[in-house]
Structure 1
Amino acid sequence: MSASLPSVERVRAALAAAGHPDTIEVFPDGTRSAADAAAAVGCDVAQIAKSIVFRAGTRAVLVIASGANRVDMAKIAVAIGLPVRRADGVWVRDTTGFAIGGVSPVGHLAPPILLLDQDLLALDQVWAAAGSPMHVFRSTPAELLRITGAASADVKEEA
């Protein structure tokens, strides 16, 4: 199934190019939300490294956040030094090459500005979308930092 999805193959190629093992798995029931992904994988929702795309002008800003956290747009803007706004699904697909629910931290059509939620750094293992709402890959927060070049930042919305 994954071989026929170009977006999943882009992620597979990006992982290989970065020297990351191919840990992509498919879950036919879907991993669209952090809760769905955690249930499918069998991990805590905090271990889902969800990819949230914002806009900074014409640039995509990808925040790799813990599935347990909501992100604060003001903190993102401060971290990158640019104003950000929400991105709609069509813009996300056109800019990243991924549909919402399958946006991966790697394999983008154009390099986004990347931030990694510092809360992920406390975890041993995380799972991230791998190009479709049914595909995820296993990694570690340190590996995600290495393969994406993301900056670690406090992006969590306070309760």
Structure 2
Amino acid sequence: MHPRAAEFGERARERYDADVDVLEFDASTETAAAAADALGCETGAIASTIIVSLSRGDDEARRGSGGRAPPDDLVAAITSGANRLDLDAVADHFGADAAEMGDPDRIREVVGWSIGGVPPVCHDAALPTVFDPTLTEYDTVYGAAGTPNAVFVVEPETLAGLADATVVDLTD
């Protein structure tokens, strides 16, 4: 097993007392469509984790001389692979002026995982998280497990609970 996928499994056990079933594939699972193809499931059953950067009117003041906003400018959205995240709805939900896809380097620095393998849980920093209600239509969903070739199997209600996520539709 890839060391990062194994690390994800260890973190899940340590943090949540959850014994997750990590599946690895030769082919990439970094997009919802690719993961669904590898798993033989509907794209909607893929729990994609998208890290979003929020902008607020006071961001410049909060940054100070360091040039970077603090980690609280990032939020996580766990969406069904069949849906597209509405960034304006995310900004509105979190009371921000705007929202954009997070910077890959910043995501790696704050969350601890790289794009293409960002799991919905086991982040280095606690992020406010929203959960797409479409995922609750499935008995089982699949989230990234730390690498572009690994996923884990979980019930959607369990995943929302582990992520301490608010279930709200912020998709197009």
Same fold (TM over 0.5): yes
The 1-side partners of 2:29 and 2:155 are apart by 18
| Residues 82-126 of structure 1 deviation map (CA, whole Å, 9 limit, x = unaligned) | 342221211111121111110001111111111101111111110
Larger Rg: 2
Residue number in structure 1 paired with 2:155: 140
1:2-151 maps to which residues of 2 (within 5 A)? 2=2, 4-5=3-4, 8-16=5-13, 17-56=15-54, 57-58=69-70, 59=72, 60-83=74-97, 84-151=99-166
The 1-side partners of 2:128 and 2:18 are apart by 21
Q: Percent identity?
A: 31
The 2-side partners of 1:14 and 1:112 are apart by 16
Checking the alignment, whether the CA contact within 8 Å between 2:20 and 2:154 is kept in structure 1 is no
Establish whether residue 156 from structure 1 lines up as the match of residue 153 from structure 2. Answer: no
CA RMSD across the alignment = 1.4
Structure 1: gaps of 5 or more residues: none
Structure 2: gaps of 5 or more residues: 55-68
TM-score, normalised to structure 1's length?
0.90
The 1-side partners of 2:19 and 2:137 are apart by 21
Checking the alignment, whether the CA contact within 8 Å between 1:118 and 1:155 is kept in structure 2 is no
Between 86-95 and 145-154, report the one with greater CA deviation.
86-95
The 2-side partners of 1:79 and 1:23 are apart by 32
Residue number in structure 1 paired with 2:65: none
Checking the alignment, whether the CA contact within 8 Å between 2:116 and 2:148 is kept in structure 1 is yes
The 2-side partners of 1:9 and 1:113 are apart by 25
Query: Secondary structure of the equivalent of 1:142?
Result: helix
Q: CA deviation at 1:14?
A: 3.1
The one-letter code matched in structure 2 to 1:111 is A
Report runs of 4+ in structure 1 exceeding 3 Å deviation: none
Count of residues in correspondence between the two structures: 154
Checking the alignment, whether the CA contact within 8 Å between 1:13 and 1:107 is kept in structure 2 is no
The 2-side partners of 1:82 and 1:21 are apart by 36
